[in-house]
Amino acid sequence: MSIPTTEVVVVGAGFAGLAAARALTGSGHDVVVLEGRDRVGGRSSTATIADVPVDLGATFVGPTQDAVVDLAAELGVPTVATYSQGRNLIRWRGRVKSYRNTIPRLSILELLDVSRIQWRFERVCRRVPVEAAWTAPHARDLDAQSLDSWLKSVHASAGTRDLMAIMSRVTWGCEPDAVSMLHAVRYVKAAGGLDRMLDVEGGAQESRFPGGTQQIALRMAEELGSRVVLGAVVRQIERHSDGSLTVTSDAGAVTAKAVVVAVAPEHRAGITFLPDLPPEYGKLAQHWPQGHLSKAYAAYGTPFWRTKGLSGEALSDEGPVFITFDVSPGDDGPGILLGFTDARTFDPLPPEQRRQRALTGFAALFGDEALSPIDYLDHCWGAEDFAPGGPTAAVPPGSWTAYGPWLRKPVDGIYWAGTETADTWTGFLDGAIRSGRRAADEVHRALRS
C-alpha cells in the first residue's frame, strides 16, 4: 500500500464499511478501506451451485429494509420474490406435516400457547428503547435472564420452546439459553416485530438477489476503486497526541484524522489499540460473541417439490437441517434447496459426512428424491480462518446493561460501525448499511467542526 496518509481509514470492506466509505467520499473526504480478506462483502459471499449463484451468507431482503433495497436498485442489482407458493412443511415429533402461512399446523393447545407467548414477548418489546436498551424499565432483570429462562418463567409449553429454539438458531446462531432476553426483544423490535422478522410474504425473507448479495458489495467497491485494499489485516490502531491516528495492517501503515472500525464487536479484539482503550471497550468485545450458523445447498434437475404443491419452505425439530427455502431460478430448473444447519453438530464433520447428513435432512422433509442431487455445496462460517462466526452476535445475558453504552460510542477519533450497532434491522444487511452511513455522518460532522 503506497498511501501514507488519508483523511479517513475504514477497517473492513463488508456492507457497513463500504457504505461508510461511499458516504464519506460522497461528502468529499479522502478514504482508504482496509480489508483483511481477499474479497469484499464481509458476511456476504456468493458462490455457485449447478452454475446458479447462491449466497453463502446473507441472502434475503424484505419490506422496510429500504437502505439495502434502494442501494441495490441504485447499483443496478435486481431482486426476485422468494418462492412461497404451495404448502410449507414441518418435521415435528417424528412426523412431517404441512401448513400455510407462518405458524405451523400444531394442536389447538400448542397454537394457543404460541399465540400467548408471542403476545407476551411483543408486549415486552414495546417497553425496550432500541437506541438505548439498557435504559428500559426492568432492563437489568431482562438482561439477567436468557430467552430460554424467560420462556420457562412464563410457562411456555415444550412445543413453543422448541419453535423458539428454531428461531434462535436461524436468527442468532445459538440456543435460547445462550442469548439475553433483553437482546432478543431489542433485536426483534429493531426488525419490526416477530411476524415481520420471520415471514416470507411481507417479511424479511420476501425477496432475494438472483445474482447474489455480494454483487452489491462488489459494485460499491468498484466505485471506490483503488481506495479499497484487500489482504490488509489490521493489526494496530495508534492514537497520537496531535489527534491523528496510524492504522497498521499487513499491507502497510496509513495515518488519518479518523478511523471507522466496521467489524463485528468480537473481532475488534483482534486489533491492538495504543494507548489502550477504556476497559469497557475490551470487555464488550469479550462479551459480544458471534453466533454459529452454517448453510447447505442441494441442486436437482428440477424443483420436484413444486410439482407436489410444496413451497420448499420447511422447519424441522431435528438437525442438522432445521429450516429450508426454495431458491431455484425457475420452474424448469435447476431446483435448489437452501438449508440452514446447526453448526454444533454440522461443522465438526468431514465434508462427505456433512453432505450425507444434509441430504438426509432434506429427504426427511421432501422425500427420497432429495438424496440424489446433481450438485451440492455447504459453508461453515464458524470454521473460517479469518473473522469466523455466524450472521450476527449472540449476545449473552448481562452484556447489554454492562457494556451496551460502549457498543458504538466514539473514542478519540475512532468510530464504530457494523450491523450489530444498528438501531433498525440489527443483524441484517440493511442494518449494516445504515450503521455505515451513521458512522460516516459522525465522522463528517467531527471533521467539519
- Digit-coded pLDDT (tens) for 139-157: 999 999 999 999 999 999 9
Tens of pLDDT, residues 16-75: 999 999 999 999 999 999 999 999 999 999 999 999 999 999 999 999 999 999 999 999
Question: Virtual CA dihedral for 362, 366, 370, 371, nearest 10 degrees?
Answer: 70
Q: What is the pLDDT of residue 105?
A: 62
Q: What is the pLDDT of residue 319?
A: 84
The C-alpha cell at 196 is: 415481520
Residues forming beta bridges with residue 34, ordered by sequence position: 11, 229
Q: Is the peptide bond before 265 cis (omega within 30 degrees of 0)?
A: no
Q: What is the pLDDT of residue 2?
A: 72
Rounded Cα distance, 94 and 43, in Å: 34
Rounded Cα distance, 399 and 276, in Å: 21
Q: What is the pLDDT of residue 102?
A: 65
Assess whether pLDDT exceeds 90 at residue 3.
Answer: no
Query: Are 341 and 318 in contact, with CB atoms under 8 Å apart?
Result: no
Nearest C-alpha neighbor of 98 from the set 370, 368, 367, 373: 367
Q: What is the pLDDT of residue 110?
A: 81
Rounded Cα distance, 359 and 355, in Å: 6
Assess whether pLDDT exceeds 80 at residue 266.
Answer: yes
CA distances to 51, 78, 337 from 332, in Å: 14, 21, 14
User: Are β-strands 258-261 and 414-416 bridged in parallel, bridged antiparallel, or unpaired?
Assistant: parallel
Assess whether pLDDT exceeds 80 at residue 205.
Answer: yes
pTM (whole model) above 0.75: yes
